[in-house]
Chain A
Amino acid sequence: MLKWKRTLVGRVLGTLAALALSTGAVTAKTEVTFFYPVQVGGPLTKIVDGYVASFEAANPDIKVVPVYSGNYLDTTTKSLTAAKSGKPPTVAVLLATDIFTLIDEDVVQPISDFVKTADDRAWLNGFMPAYMASAKVDGKVWAVPFQRSTAVLYWNKKAFAEAGLDPKKYPKTWSEMVAYGKAVTKKDASGRVVRWGVGIPGNVGSAQWLFGALAAQNGVRLMNDAGNKTDLTNPKVVEALKFWVDLNKVHGIHPPGIQEGGTTPSDFLEERIAMIWTTTGNLSNLLANAKFEFGLAPYPGNPAPASVLGGGNLYIFKNAPAAEKEAAMKFIKFLTSDELLADWGIKTGYVAPRDGAWKTEAMKAYAAKVPDILVARDQIPVSVPEWSTHENARTGKVLNDALAAALTGKKTPEKALADAQAEIEAILKPYR
Chain B
Amino acid sequence: MKPSRNVLYGSLLLLPAVVLLWTFTYQPILGTIIDSLFSTPRGKRPAAFVGLDQYQRMFDDPVFWKAMVNNLIYALTTIPLSMALALVMALLVNSRLKGQAAVRMAYFTPTILPMVAVANIWLFFYAPDYGLVDRFLQIFGWGGNNLLGMPQTALGALIAITIWKEAGFFMIFYLAALQQISPALLEAASLEGASYGQTLRRIILPLLMPTTLFVSINAVIGAFRLVDHIIVMTKGAPDNATTLLLFYIYQVGFGYWDTGYAAALTVILLLILALIALFQFGYADKKVHYR
Contacts and interface: CB of A to CB of B under 8 A. Distances in A.
A80 B146 contact: no
A410 B239 contact: yes
Interface string B122-164: 0000011110000000000101101011110000000000000
Interface in B12-66: 42-44
B196 interface: no
A204 B237 contact: yes
Contacts, number: 75
B214 interface: no
B239 A401 contact: yes
B256 A258 contact: no
Contact of B239 (A81, A84, A393, A404): A404
Nearest to B131: A263
Interface in A174-202: 190, 192-193, 202
Interface residues on A, range: 35 or more
B212 interface: no
B146 A393 contact: no
A410 B130 CA distance: 26
A394 B143 CA distance: 35
A263 B237 CA distance: 16
Contacts of B144: 192-193, 255-256
B238 interface: yes
A105 interface: yes
Q: Is the interface of B mostly helix, strand, loop or mixed?
A: loop
A404 B150 CA distance: 9
A260 B43 contact: no
Among A255, A267, A401, the most chain B Cβ lie within 10 Å of the Cβ of A401
Contacts of B146: 255-260
A224 interface: no
Given A105-B43, A192-B143, A272-B129, A77 B254 contact: yes
A365 to B, nearest CB: 37
A33 to B, nearest CB: 20
A72 to B, nearest CB: 13
B128 to A, nearest CB: 7
B147 to A, nearest CB: 10
B257 interface: yes
Contacts of B236: 204
B43 A104 contact: yes
29 contacts: A73-B255, A77-B254, A77-B255, A81-B254, A106-B44, A256-B144, A256-B146, A257-B149, A257-B238, A258-B150, A258-B237, A258-B238, A260-B146, A260-B148, A260-B149, A263-B127, A263-B128, A270-B130, A272-B129, A391-B256, A393-B255, A394-B258, A400-B237, A401-B240, A404-B237, A404-B239, A408-B151, A408-B238, A408-B239
Interface of B: 42-44, 127-130, 141, 143-144, 146, 148-151, 235-240, 251, 254-258
